Amino acid sequence: MSLVGHNHATTGYGEGAGPGSKTRAKAPVMPIRIRIGRAGKGRLSARILANQLAILALSGAIGFVLFAFAQRAEIDRSYEQRALAIAETTAAEPQIQQAMEYGGGGDIVQTVAERIRKASGASYVVVIDLHGIRHSHPTPALIGEPVGEPIAVLDGLPHVGSDQGATGRSANGKAPLKGPTGTLVGEVSAGIPERDVLGELWRELPTFGLYATIATALGSMAAFLLARRLKRTTFGLELEEIAGLLQDREAMLHGIREGVVAFDPEGRVTVINDEARHLLGLGTALGSRLDELLPEGRLRRALDGSLSGTDITVLTDDHCLAVNRMPVTLHGRALGAVVTVRDRTELVGLLRELDSVRGLTDALRAQQHEFTNRMHTLAGLLDVGEYESAYEYAVELAGADQELTESVREHIGNALMVGLIVAKTTVAAERGVRIVLGEDSALGEQPPHLHRLLTIVGNLLENALDAAVGGPAPAGGREVRLTVVEATTEVLVRVADTGPGIPPGAAESIFEDGWSTRPDRGTARRGLGLALVHRLVQRHGGTITVSEGSGAVFTVTLPLPDAAPAPQGALFTTALPVPAGALAAADGGERW
């Protein structure tokens, strides 16, 4: 597994390539290509088109019938008004008015009424007196006969409607008939046969049918185009398949122990499961962009694709994550990307513990090698009979080990920190590096930030030791200088080495998780030590700086008082055997 920016170089610091660094080759990130089966192709679009055509045909037929009824009612009203106009014209005839008020005139009413009926095309024009007696009618036999309904114009107003008379059903209009003196003397009823109304309707219906056919054709074309678009949008899947995919997706997303986030081509979150919300610390993220959800940093760059590679390691306040981003394409069209997030906190913690055990092994091997050399020397003195010299040599060796421990104890009161420094000194000596504790160092027996200090000092010494070994040997020999000072307002840690130092411009990026110029030793990921120190310091209100150029100098300050003491379980430490029985602790790392 490889990290973005993970490379081989001469310094032991952080992540990011310095001059001359070598980058491990990575497997190219292959986009996810969705392949859709061709089974059932066209069925969904055909079903949609058929349903839409049926709906259009049904709605068109219903609309046509409703329009026909509406037009029939409109034509009825038009013919009723026409019949009323005929009746009013007849009622306005002076001859009829005079004959109806004064009597006499013979057949003048029938003659004038029939003339108007024939001229207007009405089916009948009937003049009725106030007693309901007909004075004109198309059927002469009915003249003088009473009508079968009451006089409707006694109120002096015209009336319209449909009438089923002796000549058949017709549109009827009734107008009041007044004599020359203005006295109401009767009623004129005129009617237009219904066959004329239906004839007018049938003449108009073909035009209406043509309009309905054109509308249905346009709707059918639109339905066909919509069905094709829906087919492309659903990638040819049937409705049942889409429903099944949705059910499978929901079950998969919320059932796996891996965070999954999907983005559309515009970078908005379209899918996110519960594990991703937990690991990334996101709430309701659907429809939002990453710059609206996360601050600028390595996590956001890993999610949006700014960082390339596989298994990109990202360190957060609570988790160590492995992030992979895959673009998604279909038929050459970019659909966005899918990001998977795995929680590697426990794994990295175990690997760091394994590194601590490896450090313990290195220390034991160094002590065993040194012990073997001393035993060989002591055995040789005894073999040649130099008993006094052997005794003096043994006393000298015991004193040297005790002297190392005591020299550290003069400045460091806490046994855990003493053990850590002595253990690191033993390992460094095996690798040809001298660790020097500054004369101005001063730390009490129960210092504040103790567990954080163990993490900080252990990681900084380890990085400084690798840097000193990796660089050219100076005239005075390879050296790492450590200073730990407990002051009134802060605790200061300073680690300097004689290595090649930090490349120019890398002072900021060196603290990013995953940034490393050291080769992977096969266990823990490189580039997490400084990132862990940086987060630990910042979380508790401290500062960390590093010098650029030859011989790096790291300076860490932690403010006092310690507002949030770390619990005992916050660290994992491993005991290292050190000379003279001094209590020692190997490199510790805070669990996050």
d(CA 349, CA 557): 25
546 and 414 within one domain: yes
Q: What angle do CA 238, 239, 243 make, to 5 degrees?
A: 120
Q: DSSP characters for 133-169?
A: BBS--SSGGGTTPBPSS--S-TTS--EEEEEEETTEE
Cα–Cα distance measured from residue 531 to residue 104, given in angstroms and rounded to the nearest whole number: 126
Answer yes or no: is pLDDT of 15 > 60.
Answer: no
Residue 77 is assigned to a structural domain of this protein: yes
Say if CB 188 and CB 90 are below 8 A apart: yes
Q: Is residue 186 part of a domain?
A: yes
Q: Give the phi and the psi of residue 262 in degrees, each rounded to 5.
A: -115, 140
Residue 92 has pLDDT above 50, yes or no: yes
Kindly report the CATH number assigned to the domain that includes residue 295: 3.30.450.20
Tell me phi and psi for residue 255, to 5 degrees: -105, -20
User: Are 263 and 189 members of one domain?
Assistant: no
- 530, two tokens: 């400084």
Answer yes or no: do 338 and 409 share one domain: no
pLDDT of res. 485:
92
Q: Which is more confident, 11 or 159?
A: 159
Helical axes 94-102 vs 108-120, angle rounded to 10°: 150
192, 315: one domain: no
Q: Are residues 187 and 264 both part of a single domain?
A: no
pLDDT of residue 369: 74
pLDDT value at residue 176:
92
Ranked by mean pLDDT, which of 79-83, 222-226, 570-574 comes out on top?
79-83
* Alpha-carbon span 11 to 530, nearest angstrom: 13
For 423-473, the pLDDT digits (tens) are 888 778 878 888 999 899 999 888 888 888 888 898 899 888 888 887 777
Q: Tokens 């004075």 map to which residue?
A: 135
Mean pLDDT value of segment 499-517: 69
CATH number of domain containing 503: 3.30.565.10
Going by pLDDT thresholds of 50, 70 and 90, the confidence category of residue 492 is: very high
Last residue of a domain, one of 308, 330, 345: 345
Same domain? 325 vs 455: no
Domain with 152, as residue range(s), is: 63-199
Query: Is 193 within the bounds of a domain?
Result: yes
> How many angstroms separate the CA atoms of 481 and 279, rounded?
39
Same domain, 68 and 188: yes
> Based on the domain organization, do 423 and 539 belong to the same domain?
yes
Euclidean distance between CA atoms 174 and 187, whole angstroms: 7
Closest by CA to 340, choosing from 268, 259, 262, is 259
Residue 6 counted as domain residue:
no
Higher pLDDT, 399 or 377: 377
Report the DSSP pairing between strands 320-330 and 333-343: antiparallel
Angle between helices 415-430 and 345-383 (to 10 degrees): 70
Q: Which has more pLDDT, 207 or 128? A: 128
Predicted local confidence at residue 494, as pLDDT: 93
Give yes or no for residue 19 having a pLDDT over 50.
Answer: no
